[in-house]
């Protein structure tokens, strides 16, 4: 029994990866009507280290090609996830080619790499998009991006740099690293000295040093305390990332999703992003999800329905023929806050 326990503990990553791949294979076998046949291709993406860098890295990816595709979806995973876990969402897109890849410091070939939680990750998103635009069988098809958590924030950054996607599906993007920091720190503590009360500027101090490379070893512990993510699992450098501002440059149709009980992306966070997209079609679906990025797991049928409704509207070229802004609130009435449109 103890040998089995230690074997599972030592090999948990490979066991989980195998389970995902096995379940994917079962999915294809069970639902062969998705595409007949599906062609699986492993690719390498050459990605710059940052937006203006001449240095590059190699990221591993997977392309799933279907028969008579309606378009191509670029899947963008979250922090501490990878390209295989992102493939969990392929069942939402049975009539689309799919490209899934590893963000830097995630998945395969991670030596010497650092995640920037959406800072430099738009480089990977754009590399995948350019692959599709160069591919002879994809270049004439509509190109869409689906991202969750960090992946959603990275898609916003990529589209703001280069308007390359025709539509975006964004599940629980965070508003900014500073806002996330503020929520994690909470109110600055106060102390009394000789009868006088002083506020300790904890937030300002952490904000000052979080993005300082020299302070990064110490900031790892602050980051872990605030986010509950272990920075030892994914080597991380902290950069200022502000999807709430960069979203303003995006005109393409966007479908936003946010879980009701998401402590990482509270209602005011997604509302800032939604409200700051000033031009073009936008929808925000507020779900009764139980935690961060839980909408699909909690309501798979409803999730698929909402995604397909958006995709059909987009493919029919009707996004500019309907009301441009709408919030769909499927939460319980007792959980609704202020500011939602019906």
Backbone φ and ψ for 43, nearest 5 degrees, come out as -130, 165
Whole-model pTM? 0.82
Q: For the chain, which residues make up each domain, given as ranges?
A: 1-30, 31-175+242-335, 177-240
DSSP conformation class of 197: E
Question: What's the confidence (pLDDT) of residue 201?
Answer: 60
Quickly list H helices, the chain: 2-10, 12-30, 83-86, 122-134, 150-161, 177-185, 202-210, 216-227, 243-246, 267-276, 295-298, 300-315
pLDDT at residue 249 in the model:
97
Which pair of structure tokens corresponds to residue 44?
A: 């390498």
Residue 247, pLDDT score = 98
Q: Which of 175, 146, 128 is nearest to 277 (CA)?
A: 175
Cα separations in angstroms, 2 against 6, 9, 201: 6, 11, 49
The architecture (CATH level 2) of 31-175+242-335 comes to 3-Layer(aba) Sandwich (3.40)
10-residue mean pLDDT profile of the chain (342 residues): values are: 52 53 46 62 97 95 96 96 95 96 96 94 98 97 97 98 98 91 65 63 66 68 64 82 97 96 91 97 95 92 96 96 95 52 40
Q: Per DSSP, what are the bridge partners of residue 58?
A: 46
Give dist(CA 220, CA 153) in Å, integer. Answer: 21
The phi, psi pair for 20, rounded to 5°, reads -65, -45
- Decide: 117 and 177 in contact? Cβ < 8 Å: yes
What was the pLDDT predicted at 38?
Answer: 86
Phi, psi at residue 56, to the nearest 5°?
-130, 165
Rounded to whole angstroms, how far apart are CA atoms 127 and 124?
A: 5
Task: Give yes or no for a contact between 254 and 283, defined as CB atoms under 8 angstroms apart.
Answer: yes
> So what's the pLDDT on residue 18?
47
Distance (Å, whole) CA 292 – CA 265: 7
């Amino acid at each position: 029994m103890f040998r089995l326990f230690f074997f599972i503990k030592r090999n948990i990553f490979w066991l989980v990866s195998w389970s995902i791949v096995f379940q994917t294979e079962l999915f294809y076998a069970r639902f062969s009507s998705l595409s007949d046949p599906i062609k699986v291709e492993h690719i390498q993406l050459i990605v710059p280290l940052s937006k203006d860098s001449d240095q590059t890295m190699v990221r591993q990816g997977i392309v799933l090609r279907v028969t008579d595709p309606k378009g191509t979806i670029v899947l963008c995973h979250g922090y501490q996830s990878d390209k295989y876990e992102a493939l969990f969402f392929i069942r939402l897109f049975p009539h689309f080619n799919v490209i899934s890849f590893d963000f830097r410091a995630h998945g395969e070939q991670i030596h010497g790499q650092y995640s920037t939680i959406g800072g430099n990750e738009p480089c990977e998103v754009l590399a995948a998009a350019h692959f599709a635009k160069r591919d002879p069988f994809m270049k004439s098809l509509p190109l869409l991006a689906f991202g969750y958590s960090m992946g959603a924030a990275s898609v916003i950054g990529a589209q703001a740099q280069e308007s390359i996607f025709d539509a975006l599906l964004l599940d629980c993007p965070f508003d900014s690293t500073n806002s996330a920091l503020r929520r994690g720190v909470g109110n600055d503590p106060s102390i009394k000295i000789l009868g006088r009360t002083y506020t300790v500027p904890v937030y300002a101090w952490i904000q000052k040093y979080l993005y300082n490379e020299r302070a990064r070893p110490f900031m790892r512990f602050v980051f872990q305390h605030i986010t509950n993510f272990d920075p030892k699992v994914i080597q991380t450098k902290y950069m200022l990332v502000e999807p709430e501002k960069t979203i303003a440059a995006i005109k393409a149709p966007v479908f936003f999703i946010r879980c009701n009980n998401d402590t990482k992306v509270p209602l005011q966070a997604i509302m800032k992003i939604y409200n700051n997209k000033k031009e073009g079609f936008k929808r925000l679906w507020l779900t009764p999800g139980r935690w961060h990025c839980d909408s699909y797991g909690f309501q798979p049928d409803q999730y698929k329905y909402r995604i397909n409704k958006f995709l059909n509207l987009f493919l029919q070229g009707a996004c500019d023929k309907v009301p441009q802004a709408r919030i769909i609130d499927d939460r319980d009435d007792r959980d609704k806050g202020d500011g939602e449109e019906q």
